[in-house]
Amino acid sequence: MNQQIHTFFSQETALNEFLKLYEIQNIVKPLNSTQRGMKPKKDRICRFCAASNESSTFRNDAHLIPNFLGNKHLVSDFECDKCNMLFSTFENDFANWLGISRSIHGTIGKKGKSKYKSTDGVNANPNFTENSQDKYNVLLNSDKSFIEFDSETSKNTINYKKQPYIPINVYKSLLKIALSIIPETEAPNYIYTIKNLITSTKENILTQFAQFIHCTGLPIYQNEEKLACYLFSRKDITEKAPFHIFTIHYENIFISIPIPLHLGDCKNGLYNSGINFMFPPPIYLSPLTQDQPLQTKMTNLSSTEKNTNDYGYIEFQTPTINQDLMYYDPKTGKSGKADFKPEEIRGVLIVDANKKLTMEELQQLADKAVGKQSK
Ligand SMILES: [Zn+2]
């Protein structure tokens, strides 16, 4: 595939190293309008359970990339309703694992703007009209103190307890997207993978692979590219590496996994000894103008037990905290000089940093946010 990809300046060497071993096979992005060129339902075969339109049905839209990440139009013609229903349970876990991000980014899913409620009382309410560009207008609030402030670094942290999720289902959701963007002719190579994807036993071989989820987080910043999936295939057949690496980019998060159990990899003995996984750094389709600090870690999503105790966090700087600080109370309409008391804060309004707001505009936003909140 002849498509130029880009990364941050600091990651160029890493990308070049990765591209010595892998090449881009497919890039999938959401469409702006309804998809065309779909197979008629009577000719469809499910890629996952092999059902035809007679043995199952193909009535529902099967989103290639989950709808909840903002993909409205990109659908497939090889996912039957039965499998679609199974995968949507995985997607619930995926959404819960992601936590508050969709609300912060103003992602619009099937149910519109994504509101968020953590299990310990941190709420996020997107506060924009759905067709506006102004997606960084989100009220975070809690009825108790919820901001930790580090006066040395001026860093504020909001910790919140995520809704419960089953880790292996998050992995399966990622794997399902990966298996949906491989070319149809290559699907038979993943017969074991697919079988394990749709089988719900506790002793699933996929748990071994779900330990190696490569996640990179960036600070929240605005970029035109919000959602894309990348499929990389190995260049040299003799290399001891999995045939496909899959990456999903959603807003400020990049997640990569190897697609496990390719028949050729199994035959070549790839899984008989230790495997070296190689993952790409963050990828964009347009050049980047500025480096960003990256946080990369390996995440383990192999557990089949419900995780009820996972925390997410949001960090933001307060750079001008010692300068003239004003307070405005949207309930009483009073305003004046104030001291910064993070423990007294009950709401944070996230707005676009490039936009210079007047005090009046800020007050209007705060009024609107509180008005919404009290409903
Ligand atoms: Zn099916």
Mean pLDDT of 118-145: 82
> Of the spans 291-300, 312-321, 343-352, which averages the highest pLDDT?
291-300
pLDDT of 135: 61
275 C-alpha to ligand 1 centroid (Å): 31
175 C-alpha to ligand 1 centroid (Å): 15
Paired sense of beta strands 227-234 and 116-117, if any: unpaired
Residue 372 pLDDT grade (very low, low, confident, very high; cuts 50, 70, 90)? very low
359 C-alpha to ligand 1 centroid (Å): 55
85 C-alpha to ligand 1 centroid (Å): 9
Residue 326 pLDDT > 50: yes
92 C-alpha to ligand 1 centroid (Å): 19
254 C-alpha to ligand 1 centroid (Å): 28
pLDDT in tens, 190-212: 999 999 999 987 778 999 999 99
219 C-alpha to ligand 1 centroid (Å): 38
Residue 21 pLDDT > 60: yes
261 C-alpha to ligand 1 centroid (Å): 20
25 C-alpha to ligand 1 centroid (Å): 25
Residue 373 pLDDT > 60: no
55 C-alpha to ligand 1 centroid (Å): 9
pLDDT in tens, 81-98: 999 999 999 999 999 999
227 C-alpha to ligand 1 centroid (Å): 25
The closest alpha carbon to 90, from 164, 30, 163, 167, belongs to 167
Residue 200, C-beta contacts closer than 8 angstroms, at least 6 positions apart? none
257 C-alpha to ligand 1 centroid (Å): 23
- Virtual torsion, Cα 165, 171, 176, 182, nearest 10 deg: 160
Percent of the chain scoring above 90 in pLDDT: 63
DSSP 186: G
192 C-alpha to ligand 1 centroid (Å): 15
Look over the chain and give the mean of its residue pLDDT values, rounded to a whole number.
Answer: 89
Residue 234 pLDDT grade (very low, low, confident, very high; cuts 50, 70, 90)? very high
For the ranges 262-271, 273-282, 352-361, the lowest mean pLDDT is seen at 352-361
78 C-alpha to ligand 1 centroid (Å): 8
pLDDT in tens, 271-311: 888 777 899 999 999 999 999 999 999 999 999 999 999 99
pLDDT of 202: 75
Residue 130 contacts residue 113 (beta carbons within 8 Å): yes
Residue 169 contacts residue 93 (beta carbons within 8 Å): yes
Burial (0-12, 13-18, 19+ Cβ within 10 Å), 321? middle
165 C-alpha to ligand 1 centroid (Å): 23
DSSP 197: H
Residue 263 contacts residue 191 (beta carbons within 8 Å): yes
Residue 339 pLDDT grade (very low, low, confident, very high; cuts 50, 70, 90)? confident
Percent of the chain scoring above 70 in pLDDT: 94
Residue 179 contacts residue 47 (beta carbons within 8 Å): yes
pLDDT in tens, 34-83: 888 899 999 999 999 999 999 999 999 999 999 999 999 999 999 999 99
Burial (0-12, 13-18, 19+ Cβ within 10 Å), 324? exposed
Residue 374 pLDDT grade (very low, low, confident, very high; cuts 50, 70, 90)? very low
179 C-alpha to ligand 1 centroid (Å): 13
